[in-house]
């Protein structure tokens, strides 16, 4: 096992993916967790990265948890101010975005219990087939374990965000205006999700800025890889979240 320049652990033959910048437009950040990981932790990684991208790309004025506290304070009457019509409209937009984001994360928790999830796409701006920016969460190299065998999600998140901090993937990006975010998630075609919409003919965009966060983990030889569950690629399809997250700035 060896340590990559990003601080993430890497190994051979599986999961060998040193962080690299192919150009100013593309970046791979690879993180190797030193043990088994649960599906619940994979969901947690996805949700935290979703919130992080929204904040880093200036679609949320504050981190998600701070926004929740601020909005709850307003609802509880901690701040009583006279607002203009525009400010009231902005407030309604922020409430809608936070509500949609909360619902999306809740439904992600359900989806991860129904099927292995090899990849998630966060598509920012443009359209799902031609976004301005694309953030890929690649979890095919994750070895899955149960709660007793597996790593706690907290140290894994620290390792993940340390690797992101060292790679600094957002510094080269130009500031942009408000955009919408669409989430695509890969799962088994028979997972029986009732919320996400199957997109049988969807193809991953190739012409957009792309950041790929490749997550993998170590474990015993008998452990199950997510990629082992996806050998039959025709059994795995893309699903689209039925909500579009719209950025706001107050």
Could you give all domains of the chain from N- to C-terminal order, each with its CATH number? 2-246 (3.30.900.20)
Helix (H) or strand (E) holding 64: helix 64-75
Q: Are 6 and 19 in contact (CB under 8 A)?
A: yes
Q: What is the pLDDT of residue 68?
A: 80
Q: Are 248 and 64 in contact (CB under 8 A)?
A: no
Among residues 236, 233, 214, the alpha carbon closest in space to that of 29 is found at: 214
Per-residue pLDDT tens digits for 197-226: 999 999 999 877 789 999 999 877 656 667
Write out the DSSP string of 212-226: EEEEEE---TTPEET
Per-residue pLDDT tens digits for 153-176: 999 999 999 999 998 888 777 777
Q: What is the pLDDT of residue 23?
A: 42
Q: Are 200 and 121 in contact (CB under 8 A)?
A: no
Q: What is the pLDDT of residue 228?
A: 62
Q: Which residues of the chain have pLDDT under 70?
A: 1-25, 71-90, 221-225, 227-233, 250
Q: What is the pLDDT of residue 67?
A: 84
Q: In sequence order, which ranges of the chain are alpha helices (DSSP H)?
A: 39-56, 64-75, 85-114, 153-167
Q: What is the pLDDT of residue 184?
A: 98
Phi, psi (degrees; rounded to nearest 5) at 175: -65, 145
Among residues 4, 20, 42, 50, the alpha carbon closest in space to that of 169 is found at: 20
Per-residue pLDDT tens digits for 13-33: 344 565 444 444 578 999 999
Joined tokens for residue 176: 């942009």
Does residue 175 have a cis bond before it (omega within 30 degrees)?
no
Joined tokens for residue 183: 């989430």
Joined tokens for residue 126: 């443009």
């Amino acid at each position: 096992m060896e340590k990559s320049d990003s601080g993430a652990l890497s190994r051979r033959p599986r999961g060998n993916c040193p962080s690299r910048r192919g150009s100013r437009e593309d970046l791979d950040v690879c993180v190797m967790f030193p043990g088994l990981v649960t599906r619940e932790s994979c969901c947690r990684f996805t949700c935290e990265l979703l919130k992080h991208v929204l904040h880093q790309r200036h679609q949320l004025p504050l981190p998600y948890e701070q926004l929740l506290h601020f909005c709850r304070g307003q609802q509880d009457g901690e701040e009583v101010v006279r607002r203009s019509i525009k400010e009231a409209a902005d407030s309604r937009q922020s409430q809608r975005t936070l509500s949609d984001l909360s619902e999306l994360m809740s439904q992600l928790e359900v989806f991860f219990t129904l099927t292995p999830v090899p990849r998630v796409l966060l598509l920012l701006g443009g359209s799902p087939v031609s976004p301005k920016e694309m953030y890929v969460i690649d979890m095919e190299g994750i070895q899955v374990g149960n709660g007793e065998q597996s790593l706690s999600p907290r140290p894994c998140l620290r390792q993940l965000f340390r690797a992101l901090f060292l790679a600094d993937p957002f510094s080269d990006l130009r500031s942009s205006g408000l955009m919408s975010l669409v989430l695509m998630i890969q799962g088994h075609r028979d997972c029986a999700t009732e919320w996400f919409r199957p997109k049988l003919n969807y193809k991953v965009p190739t012409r957009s800025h792309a950041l790929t966060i490749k997550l993998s983990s170590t474990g015993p030889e008998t452990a199950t890889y997510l990629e082992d569950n996806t050998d039959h690629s025709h059994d795995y399809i893309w699903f689209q979240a039925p909500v579009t997250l719209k950025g706001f700035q107050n």
